[in-house]
Every structure is written in structure tokens, then in C-alpha cells.
A and B are shown apart, each in its own frame.
Chain A
Amino acid sequence: MDNKKVLIISVISVIALVIAIVGTSYAMFTANLTGTKENVINTGYVKMSCAETTFNVQNSSPMSDSEGIASTDNAATCTLTTEMKGTMRIGYDVALYEVDALTPSDSIGISNVKAQIYKSVDSGPATYLGGSSASSGVLINTLTSSSGTYDSSITSYNIDSAIVEGSQTVVYTIKNWVDSTASSGTNSSSNPGTCSDSTYTDESTCEAAGEIWGSSQTESQEGGSFSFKLKIGATQVLS
């Protein structure tokens, strides 16, 4: 009897198990529906780049604005290209930095170097910047307090702040020259006892050699150097 019970219970258990396994699928409602519409996010991108040309003018001499503007070997350019897929407002600042940083005590510096600065957007007409114009330059020292709008690290020598909202090419051009009206760096000296041939240091030997003995006055201008780099700081402008 006991065996019968055990057998019955076992059979029932097996049946219950089978029902449980098989019957479960019938015990719940299931549906698998696959949509036909695809929802997609493709990321856009924003790229900015500056293709630079630099200048290195050796042994320059002071010149007028018209001469400096007409010169062809003193122009630095940055072709600022913005490539954008998507919509984004980007604010950017363009500045000179490390201005004369290597030789700050030279006889030429920010007070006697001039610049003509302009930009052309998508090959459009020139827009003059920093106070310069088509016919005149601006002394570099007038830019010292010009700070950036979008890049807080730019606290001086900012030359342009702008917003770009699509793909664009802006060519920045900066021409530099030593101002002919600059007086700094010019030294005057006089010497009451001088021979036209410095070999001779007293009047008798100087004149005996057929040279001129007298007083001399000298105006001189020491050489020096001026340099700068470009910095651009851009950031997304959230509306």
C-alpha cells in the first residue's frame, strides 16, 4: 500500500512537473512584436583648426604705415576653419600671446611696433580689427587691455571675438612693422675729444696722421627683436 502511494505520488509529481514545465508556457500570455521604425541618434561633430603661416623678418628698419602695409614678408595668417555637422553656437577669441616674451627689454617692443589686423570671412571683404584700418596700423601697446569674451584665460591682446554657428572659414591676417615715428631706443651722446680715426686718442697724433680732432655727437638706435604667437580659445555657447 505504501509502495502504491509512493508510486502514485511519484507519478503525480512527474505529471505535475511536466505540466509545470509545459503548462507554464500556456499559463502566461506572451507576445513578441518587433517594431519596423528605427529610432537613431547619429552623433554630429564640430572641428576647428588654424592653419598658420608665420613670418621672421631679419634686420628690418623702421617704416611708415604705408610701407609696412605694402610689405609682403611681414604677414602672419591663420586660416581658421570650422567644420560642423549638427547645430552648435561656438564663441571664440583670437589673441596675440607671448608678446615679445623672449626679449622684453629689447629696444623695440610693444610701444614701437605697429600692426594691421584684419579678417576675411568665407573670402568676403576685409574687416579691420584692433583699431587698425586699410591705411593705418595700430601700436601693439594699445591692445594690452583687450581681453577675451569667451576664453577667460585671454586677458590681453585680444584682437577678435566672434560666434560661429556653421561651417565657416575665416582668414586672419596680422602684419607687423617697426614704427618709423618711434623714438624709443634712440640714444644721443657727445664726446668732446674724438679723432676721426679711433686709432688715435690724442690731438697731436690724430692731426699728425691727417685726421680730424674735435668734438663728436652721435645718434644711435640699438637693434632688437619683437615677437608674438597666436592663441585661439573657443567654447560652446549654450542658449
Chain B
Amino acid sequence: MFEEIEPKKKKSILLPILSIFVLIAAISSVAVAVWNWTYTSSNANSITTGNISMSLLESTDVINITNAVPMTDEEGKALGAGGKFDFAVTTSTTGAPGNMVYSISITKLAASTGYTVLPDNNVKVYLTTFDGSDETVVMSPTLVSNIITSGDTGTLTFDSGKESYLTHNHTSAGVNHTTKYRLRMWVDENVDASSWNENTKYEYRLKINVSGSLTA
């Protein structure tokens, strides 16, 4: 069916085929040889952070005053077991810059069933730091209703938008820093308790909150 190709014809066919292959190879090698450049950094960019922690330690001995009656500031400041609440705040900023700044607040809680919450202007709070028997005043006896808004370190603030909100700002520098606090509360001496009787059931309940952050 097909005629045998003569050797001379074979040559004449092979030459163009070879030429095409050579051309393809030439084009291919041009594409491979196209200009390229790659750059990679020799040095890395890096950020490191330190260890940060904050702890709140609350004493098992809480304020639990029953049958409270109005008392003077001097009496209130001297309240002992059952009339004081100790807690400690520890901050640690290993390898981290700046200081831990934290604020302490008291949050007023709802009264127990059957009780009515005492008004904020009936209750005084008193906050100290202590080391052994030595106490340092952080907040002198203050009616909860009189706690003023202030951003200054060491002062107490009151946010009227929340339930009794008392804040003590503290800046602690250093790797490990523990501050021991003591809170006392009592019914203010100016409260008229003449109407109270055996059926009167007032109560004031609160808890401590601490919130902090690292500042540069």
C-alpha cells in the first residue's frame, strides 16, 4: 500500500524534521533561560513577650456581721474577725516591660431573700494594706455613696452606672509583687436606726473584683 521511501528521499524528509526539533529545543531553552531572581532574608524579624500573671487570693474569713447597728468610724476601723475581709493581689511580670496596673472594686450584690438592701449612704467602707500588725490607709472610712470618680493612683472611684463600684488603682513595678489588703464595712453612725425593729431586715452584700493590665 505504501511505497518504500528511497534513501535519498529519506534524507530529504529527515532534514526538515531535525530542523523542527532543533527549533523547538532552541525555543524551549530560551524559556528555561528566562531571567530569574530570588531573594531571601538572612536575618529574621522577631517579637518576644514576657510572662505576665495576676492573682487574687481571698481569705476564707469573710465579713459576716449579724445584728449590725450604727457605729463610729473608730469602732468600724477596729473591727476584727468577722468584721474584716483580707485579700491579696499578686502580680508577676517576668521578662515583660512596664508595670502591672490594677484596680480593685467592690460590686454590690442583691440582698438575700427576705432582706432589703441598705442604701449606699448607710454603709461605710474602709480599705487598708497591711503587713503584720501595721496597717496603711488606702481609703479612709467613706460612705459608698460618697466615693468619687478619680483616675489618680491610690484613690477610690465610684461609677454610678454600676452597682456600688469602688476602685483602688495600684501600680506595681517589679517581677513579683504581693500586696495584702484588708476591707472593713459597717453601718454609719449617722444612720437613724430608731425605726428598726425585730421585723426589720436590712442587708448589704458585696464582693471584691480586681482587674489589671500591663502598661508600657
Q: Residues of A with Cβ closer than 8 Å to B?
A: 46, 48-50, 52, 54-63, 74, 76, 88, 90, 92, 97-98, 102, 107-108, 113, 151, 174, 176-178, 194, 196-197, 203, 210-236, 238
Contact = CB atoms under 8 A, between A and B. Distances in A.
A148 to B, nearest CB: 11
A196 B45 contact: no
Interface of B: 31, 34-41, 43-61, 86-88, 90, 92, 94-98, 131-133, 178, 180, 214, 216
A113 B55 contact: no
* A interface majority secondary structure: strand
Contacts of B46: 55-57, 225-227
Given A61-B216, A88-B35, A234-B37, A214 B47 contact: no
Given A212-B57, A220-B52, A61 B214 contact: yes
Nearest to A56: B46
A52 B41 contact: yes
Contacts of A60: 47-49, 97
A55 B39 contact: no
Given A218-B54, A223-B50, A210 B132 contact: yes
A59 B57 contact: no
B49 A231 contact: no
A108 B87 CA distance: 32
Contacts of A113: 47
B47 A178 contact: yes
A176 B52 contact: no
B40 A97 contact: yes
Nearest to B35: A236
A182 to B, nearest CB: 10
A196 B41 contact: no
A228 B55 contact: no
B154 to A, nearest CB: 21
Contacts of B97: 59-61
B45 A56 contact: yes
B96 A234 contact: no
A46 B37 CA distance: 10
Contacts of B60: 203, 213-215
B57 A194 contact: yes
Sorted nearest first, the 5 A-B pairs with minimum C-beta distance are: A220-B53, A229-B41, A227-B46, A236-B35, A216-B57
Contact of B38 (A217, A226, A231): A231
Contact of A215 (B41, B44, B58, B132): B58
Contacts of B47: 55, 57, 60, 74, 108, 113, 176-178, 225-227
Contacts of A57: 46-48
B47 to A, nearest CB: 5
Given A218-B56, A238-B34, 20 more contacts: A49-B39, A54-B45, A55-B46, A61-B50, A61-B98, A90-B37, A108-B47, A108-B49, A174-B45, A178-B49, A196-B180, A203-B60, A217-B56, A218-B55, A226-B47, A228-B44, A228-B45, A231-B39, A232-B40, A234-B39
Contact of A232 (B39, B50, B57, B96): B39
Nearest to B94: A223
